[in-house]
Structure 1
């Protein structure tokens, strides 16, 4: 398990934890007077999508209409893939070929 995200609100953190599949753990820590909730889980594209992270919902929408892309769609796809490449390196997961 790895740290997937942090939250400032306990309820929001609990909701996010319920969305994950596989092993997960929610841990809190106090930073001065603020409580931070760390969500640990299995780093997978499915879990990231369920959490609404890394523009994966937008990527899905783009790929569904790939045949009709305009220049701005291609540019956005390139931006999203650049960030996903960084995420894949950080978490040791591969970007699926059909997203390229």
Structure 2
């Protein structure tokens, strides 16, 4: 699996903390943009890594799926919105959305 740009940070400590969260091959690279330094986090694009980074509303999706599985009412609009975000991410990072998320 090749490394891809997962996220960009303006704060070095936040970027280093994010790097520690993800698994697999990873690299943190800094670059100067005029007077500001940004930190690019490269790593393996996976739903697990995106979840650990708090991206794409995956924690919200997890809660929605728990509610749905339990037979409780869940916010169908939020579910559709989250799936829409994931469809975009899946296309960008060449990932498949697990069927049970839909």
Smaller-chain TM-score bracket:
over 0.9
Determine the C-alpha separation between the residues in 2 that align with 1:33 and 1:75.
41
Q: Pick the aligned partner of 1:25 from 21, 24, 27.
A: 27
Q: Normalising by structure 2, what TM-score? A: 0.94
What is the aligned-residue RMSD (CA, Å)?
Answer: 0.6
Query: Which stretches in structure 1 are left out of the alignment for 5+ residues?
Result: none
Deviation at residue 68 of structure 1 after TM alignment: 1.3
Aligned to 2:51: 49
Aligned to 2:72: 68
Structure 1 stretches of 4+ moved >3 Å:
none
Determine the C-alpha separation between the residues in 2 that align with 1:34 and 1:18.
23
* Pairs aligned (count): 98
Residue deviations 1:5-57 (CA, integer Å, cap 9, x gap):
00000000000000010000000000010000000000000000000000000
SS at structure 1 position matched to 2:79: helix
Query: Which stretches in structure 2 are left out of the alignment for 5+ residues?
Result: none
Determine the C-alpha separation between the residues in 2 that align with 1:69 and 1:11.
39
Deviation at residue 69 of structure 1 after TM alignment: 2.1
Aligned to 2:9: 7
